[in-house]
């Protein structure tokens, strides 16, 4: 069972869900939300990472819109709400809040990774390019192809999971990502053939157990390598 704590960012205070490991490995993860807020899917992910030994923190990045947003992907009405929140969300401010989360966690943990999903996948990419994170993992990030110029030699180690049939990241976007990031040795990109957006979201319409298992194993191996 997780807890909550308050993070004091430059623009104000916001809450975060925290999952503390029973057997800590000494590392922390910032788990970055989808467009549905810090919901059960995100809390369960944090709990799963804590079970692997990570101190896992899920900051409420929608707090400027409305604190405590917690909806699902199970009804058309909630999808409409989620897209409305997404339309109001300021990506740049979200990265500021992620840095504030990193700063807060850094007081107790020296090495910190980030892992994000959907909107959080884009933010995980920007976390690697803009913040002091040690390493970052992006699951089916939306809009990365529009920000490829941010990836430089200074970008932190970054792992990208991309679904070949992603309805939000088309083939042209995928090709642009592959071409634009191929020169960066610290950036790795895996494409999951035949899978659609959110293939790792348990209970989601496009969930694929085999694809999720492979991606999650790669994530764990990447963090074991880059956070050691």
CB 48 within 8 A of CB 32: no
Number of domains in the chain: 1
Catalytic site residues?
A: 166, 197
Q: Which domain, by its residues, includes 133?
A: 3-226
SS3 152: coil
* 126-157 residue pLDDT tens: 999 999 999 999 999 999 999 999 999 999 99
* 94-103 residue pLDDT tens: 999 999 999 9
CATH number of domain containing 177: 3.40.50.1820
Burial 117-154 (b: 16+ CB within 10 A, else e): bbbbbbbbbbbbbbbebbbbbbbbbbebbeeeeebeee
Report the predicted TM-score, pTM, of the whole model to 2 decimal places. Answer: 0.96
* 22-45 residue pLDDT tens: 999 999 999 999 999 999 999 999
* pLDDT of res. 82: 87
């Amino acid at each position: 069972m997780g807890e909550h704590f308050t993070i004091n960012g430059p623009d104000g205070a916001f809450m975060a869900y925290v999952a503390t490991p029973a057997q800590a490995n000494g590392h922390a993860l910032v788990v970055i939300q989808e467009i549905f807020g810090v919901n059960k899917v995100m809390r369960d992910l944090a709990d799963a990472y804590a079970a692997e030994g990570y101190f896992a923190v899920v900051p409420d990045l929608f707090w400027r819109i409305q604190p405590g947003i917690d909806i699902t992907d199970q009804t058309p009405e909630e999808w409409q709400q989620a897209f409305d929140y997404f339309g109001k969300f300021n990506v740049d401010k979200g990265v500021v809040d992620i840095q504030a989360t990193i700063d807060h966690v850094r007081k107790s943990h020296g090495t910190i990774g980030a892992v994000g999903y959907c909107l959080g996948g884009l933010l995980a990419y920007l976390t690697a390019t803009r913040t002091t994170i040690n390493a970052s993992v992006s699951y089916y990030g939306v809009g990365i192809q529009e920000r490829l110029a941010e990836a430089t030699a200074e970008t932190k180690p970054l792992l990208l999971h991309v679904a070949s049939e992603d309805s939000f990241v088309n083939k042209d976007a995928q090709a642009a990502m592959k071409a634009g990031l191929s020169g960066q040795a610290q950036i790795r990109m895996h494409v999951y053939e035949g899978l659609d957006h959110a293939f790792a979201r348990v209970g989601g319409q496009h969930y694929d157990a085999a694809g999720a298992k492979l991606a999650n194993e790669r994530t764990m191996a990447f963090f074991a390598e880059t956070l050691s």
